[in-house]
C-alpha cells in the first residue's frame, strides 16, 4: 500500500514537473538524471555503510602471530569487542580498573539480572562512589583467548561503557602500546 502511494506521488510530482517545463524538456531530463544519480548514491552509501564505517573507524584484528591489535580511537582510548557468555560486548580498555566491570545494560545482555544482584562492594569511579556486585561470567572470548568462569563486577551507577580491567589483561603475556594501537599477545 505504501509503495502504491509513493508511486502515485512520484507520478503526480513528475507529471507536474513535465507540464511546468514542457518548453525545456532537455533541461528537465538533465535534472531527472541528476536526481536519479543522487538517489542511487544515497542507496549505495546506506548499503555500504558497514564497510565505510570500518574504514573510518577500524576495529580490532587478530594478527598472524595470534596477537590482538586494537586501534586507538579518536578520543585516545582503546575499545575492543569480546564475546561474553556468547554475546559480543564492546569494552573500553581501562588500566585503572581492577576487574571487568559491566554496565547494568551489558550485564542484562549477557544473561545476568542486574535488579536481583547484591551490590555489596564499593568502588570509586569518576562519578564518585558506586555499588558493585561481584559476578562470575561463564565464558569470555577475545581473539584466540577463551576463558571460563571469569570474575567480574556489575556497576550499580550510570556508566556509558563496560571496562576491561587489569585482572583480565594480565592473562596476556605482553601488552604493548605503539603506533596508535594496543597489541595484546597471548
Tell me: pLDDT of 57 over 80: no
Higher pLDDT residue, 7 or 70?
70
Shared-domain flag, residues 112 and 178: yes
Number of H helices, E strands in the chain: 5, 11
CATH of the domain at 126: 2.40.70.10
Residues 102 and 151 in one domain: yes
Same domain as 91, residue 48: no
Mean pLDDT confidence for 136-150: 93
Which residues constitute the domain of residue 8?
Answer: 2-53
Taking only the tens place, the pLDDT of each residue in 162-183 is 999 999 999 999 999 988 899 9
pTM score: 0.67
Q: How far apart are CA 25 and CA 19, in angstroms?
A: 10
Same domain, 64 and 120: yes
Instruction: Please tell me whether residues 45 and 68 are part of one structural domain.
Output: no
Same domain, 155 and 86: yes
Residues 95 and 133 reside in one and the same domain:
yes
79 shares its domain with 112: yes
Q: CA 79: distance to chain centroid?
A: 9
Structural domain tally of the chain? 2
Amino acid at each position: 500500500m505504501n509503495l502504491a502511494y509513493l508511486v502515485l506521488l512520484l507520478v503526480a510530482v513528475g507529471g507536474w514537473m513535465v507540464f511546468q517545463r514542457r518548453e525545456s524538456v532537455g533541461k528537465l531530463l538533465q535534472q531527472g538524471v541528476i536526481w536519479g544519480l543522487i538517489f542511487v548514491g544515497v542507496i549505495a552509501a546506506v548499503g555500504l555503510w558497514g564497510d565505510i564505517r570500518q574504514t573510518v573507524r577500524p576495529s580490532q584484528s587478530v594478527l598472524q602471530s595470534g596477537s590482538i591489535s586494537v586501534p586507538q580511537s579518536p578520543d585516545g582510548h582503546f575499545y575492543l569487542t569480546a564475546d561474553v557468555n556468547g554475546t559480543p560486548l564492546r569494552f573500553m580498555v581501562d588500566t585503572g580498573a581492577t576487574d571487568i566491570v559491566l554496565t547494568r545494560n551489558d550485564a542484562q545482555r549477557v544473561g545476568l539480572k542486574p535488579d536481583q544482584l547484591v551490590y555489596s562492594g564499593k568502588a570509586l569511579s569518576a562519578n564518585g562512589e558506586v555499588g558493585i556486585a561481584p559476578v562470575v561470567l561463564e565464558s569470555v572470548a577475545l581473539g584466540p583467548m577463551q576463558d571460563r568462569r571469569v570474575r567480574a563486577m556489575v556497576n550499580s551507577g550510570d556508566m556509558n561503557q563496560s571496562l576491561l580491567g587489569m585482572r583480565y589483561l594480565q592473562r596476556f603475556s605482553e601488552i604493548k602500546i605503539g603506533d596508535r594501537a594496543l597489541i595484546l599477545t597471548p
